């Protein structure tokens, strides 16, 4: 059985985008994570060592977003999914990257890309 752990609205500041000004000036990115893992052992033991430490994971995700710039949010989302899957207990990761300040010449609320990756590296 797989349970779901969600951490939503992780705000990060990164320098990603196709345009030079995006890389130079940076902008806010918001990340949502939904992770599939079995939490039964942790529920029984009540011990953090038996589950995913989501505080540490959030720090790692922020570091991934705030590191070396990439052009596409597709690349950024894959980077974040890879970070989530470094813990073998995470069976799959659904990562949403929001780019609310994307350089679009129209009124819009958000740009979001959502990907799902598994330990096997395939799409769900």
Pair 39, 52: CB distance under 8 Å: no
Q: Provide the token pair at 101.
A: 């300040």
- Catalytic member of 16, 79, 94, 99: 99
Q: Would you call 62 a catalytic residue per the annotation?
A: no
Specify if 49 maps to a domain.
yes
Backbone angles phi, psi at 45, to 5 degrees: -85, -25
pLDDT in tens, 63-110: 999 999 999 999 999 999 999 999 999 999 999 999 999 999 999 999
Number of domains into which the chain is organized: 1
Confidence of residue 124 (pLDDT cuts 50, 70, 90): very low
What confidence score (pLDDT) does residue 120 get?
Answer: 84
> In this structure, is residue 123 part of a structural domain?
no
The CATH code of the domain that includes 92 is: 3.30.1130.10
Cβ neighbours for 109, distance < 8 A, ≥ 6 positions apart: 100
Question: pTM for the whole thing?
Answer: 0.93
- Is 25 inside a domain boundary? yes
The pLDDT assigned to 86 comes to: 96
The verdict on residue 37 lying in a domain is: yes
Structure tokens at 46: 């009540």
Asked if residue 108 is part of any domain, the answer here is yes
What pLDDT shows up at residue 41?
A: 94
* Dihedral sign (CA 26, 32, 38, 40): positive
């Amino acid at each position: 059985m797989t349970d779901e752990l969600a951490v939503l609205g992780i705000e990060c500041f990164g320098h990603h985008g196709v345009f030079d000004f995006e890389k130079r000036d940076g902008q806010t990115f918001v990340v949502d994570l939904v992770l599939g893992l079995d939490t039964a052992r942790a529920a029984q033991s009540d011990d953090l060592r038996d589950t995913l430490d989501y505080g540490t994971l959030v720090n790692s995700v922020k570091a991934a977003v705030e590191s070396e710039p990439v052009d596409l949010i597709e690349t950024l989302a894959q980077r974040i999914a890879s970070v989530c899957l470094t813990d073998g207990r995470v069976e799959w990761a659904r990562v949403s990257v929001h780019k609310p300040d994307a350089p679009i010449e129209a009124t819009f609320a958000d740009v979001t890309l959502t990907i799902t990756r598994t330990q096997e590296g395939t799409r769900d």
